[in-house]
Amino acid sequence: MAELSAELRVRYAGFSLDVALRLPATGMTVLLGPSGCGKTTVLRALAGLARAQGRVQLDGEVWQDDSRRVFVPTHRRAIGHVFQEASLFAHMDVRDNLNYGRRRVARQAQQVGFDEAVDLLGIGHLLDRRTQGLSGGERQRIAIARALLTSPRLLLMDEPLSALDAMRKAEILPFLERLNREAQVPIVYVTHALEEAARLADHLVLMEAGRVRASGAAGALFSRLDLPLSGLDEAASVIEAVVAAHDEAYGQSGLDVAGQRLWVGRCQALVGQHVRVRVLARDVSIALSRASDSSITNILPARIECIRVDGADTVTLRLALGAGPGDALGQGPALLARLTRRSADALHLREGMPVHAQVKGVALMGTP
Please tell me whether residues 248 and 349 are part of one structural domain.
yes
User: Domain containing 325: what range?
Assistant: 236-366
From 197, 222, 247, the end of a domain falls on 222
CATH code of the domain covering residue 137: 3.40.50.300
Average pLDDT over residues 99-127: 84
Please tell me whether residues 216 and 274 are part of one structural domain.
no
Residue 188 pLDDT exceeds 60: yes
Residues 40/83, Cβ–Cβ less than 8 Å: no
From 198, 222, 246, the end of a domain falls on 222
Number of independent structural domains in the chain:
2
Specify if 154 maps to a domain: yes
Nearest to 158 by CA among 77, 78, 39: 39
Q: Provide the pLDDT for residue 367.
A: 59
H-state helical runs in 149-212: 166-182, 194-200
Q: Provide the pLDDT for residue 279.
A: 96
Please tell me whether residues 144 and 277 are part of one structural domain.
no
CATH code of the domain covering residue 242: 2.40.50.100
- Tell me the pLDDT tens digit for each residue of 308-331: 999 899 999 999 997 544 445 556
Q: Provide the pLDDT for residue 325.
A: 47
Q: Is the dihedral of CA 38, 44, 49, 52 positive or negative?
A: positive
Nearest to 285 by CA among 366, 342, 326: 342
Q: Provide the pLDDT for residue 129.
A: 93
Specify if 228 maps to a domain: no
Please tell me whether residues 191 and 56 are part of one structural domain.
yes
Residue 304 pLDDT exceeds 80: yes
Question: What percentage of residues in the chain have a pLDDT greater than 90?
Answer: 72
Residue 154 pLDDT exceeds 60: yes
Specify if 114 maps to a domain: yes
- Tell me the pLDDT tens digit for each residue of 14-36: 899 999 999 999 999 999 999 99
Specify if 179 maps to a domain: yes
Please tell me whether residues 268 and 155 are part of one structural domain.
no
